[in-house]
């Protein structure tokens, strides 16, 4: 049985026999709808908000550069913006001079890459390299926010634009869940790995969203509790 990369991987089909890449027919797997469009736009907005924050404040305090490095494996449309973020925080003064490397030290190479690769091997539908890599990428994306959340937990008090960046990232994933629900009922689309990965990512945001909503409701600063 031929193995094809699902539409979630970029709307391309992979031919294991060495043939050309093919686009799936209209309406197949990766059909666009309002929820997916909203999720993508929120994702892009979150990146633009972070760029604005860095340029406006001339500071990257409270922002995890390691998360940005990690996210360069995501969709091609976001790579340029992500590389630019890394350039600002690592190289371009005065922003780079405010980057706190000693604080942004969560080692995702140790704590996330191995478990995600193991899950990619265990949860793949077919034991081919493209399938395993795709499944691994779903798990990696679901925990990509962890370095950023760990950094904010250490700092406790979160700047307004930084909190908006993280909140928009979380909202983009929430809209993707609505997209999956819509496609399940409209197209009978099932993707358990993507669903569970998206749910894990949303759960990781839950604590942050609670305190973010409280800060907006009461009009105060976003202050996270002490990590235990």
Q: DSSP string of 129-188?
A: HHHHHHHHHHHHHHTTTHHHHHHHHHH-EE-HHHHHHHHHHHHHHHHHHHHHHHHHHHH-
- 28 in a structural domain: no
Q: Has residue 3 been placed in a domain?
A: no
So what's the pLDDT on residue 12? Answer: 40
Listed as ranges, residues in the chain with pLDDT below 50 are 1-30
Q: Is the Cβ–Cβ distance between 54 and 32 less than 8 Å?
A: no
Task: Give Dmax over CA atoms of the chain in angstroms.
Answer: 59
pLDDT at 76: 54
Q: Count structural domains, the chain.
A: 1
Q: Do the domain assignments include residue 9?
A: no
pLDDT of 9: 42
The pLDDT of residue 36: 66
Q: What is the pLDDT of residues 92-137, one digit of tens each?
A: 999 999 988 888 888 888 888 889 999 999 998 888 888 888 888 8
Q: Would 4 be classed as within a structural domain? A: no
The per-residue pLDDT for 28 is 41
Backbone angles phi, psi at 22, to 5 degrees: -130, 145
Q: Is 137 part of a structural domain of the chain?
A: yes
Domain assignment present for residue 150? The answer is: yes
Q: Two tokens at 202?
A: 């949303």
Q: What local confidence, expressed as pLDDT, does residue 24 receive?
A: 40
Q: Is 7 among the domain residues?
A: no
pLDDT at 96: 92
Structural domain includes residue 116: yes
**Domain with 179 in it:** 33-223
């Amino acid at each position: 049985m031929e193995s094809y990369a699902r539409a979630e991987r970029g709307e391309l089909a992979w031919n294991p026999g060495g043939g050309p890449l093919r686009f799936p027919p209209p309406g197949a797997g990766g059909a666009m709808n309002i929820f997916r469009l909203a999720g993508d736009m929120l994702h892009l907005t979150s990146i633009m908000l972070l760029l604005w924050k860095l340029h406006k404040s001339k500071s990257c305090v409270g922002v995890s550069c390691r998360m940005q490095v990690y996210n360069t494996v995501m969709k091609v449309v976001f790579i340029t913006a992500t590389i630019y973020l890394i350039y600002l925080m690592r190289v371009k003064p005065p922003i780079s001079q405010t980057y706190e490397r000693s604080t942004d030290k969560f080692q995702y190479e140790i704590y996330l890459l191995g478990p995600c690769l193991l899950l990619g091997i265990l949860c793949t539908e077919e034991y081919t390299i493209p399938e395993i890599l795709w499944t691994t990428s779903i798990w990696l994306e679901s925990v990509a926010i962890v370095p950023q959340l760990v950094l904010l937990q250490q700092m406790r008090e979160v700047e307004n634009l930084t909190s908006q960046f993280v909140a928009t990232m979380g909202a983009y994933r929430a809209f993707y869940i609505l997209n999956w629900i819509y496609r399940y009922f409209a197209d009978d689309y099932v993707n358990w790995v993507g669903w569970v990965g998206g749910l894990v990512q949303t759960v990781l945001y839950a604590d942050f969203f609670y305190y973010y909503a409280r800060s907006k409701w009461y009009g105060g600063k976003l202050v996270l509790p002490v990590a235990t």
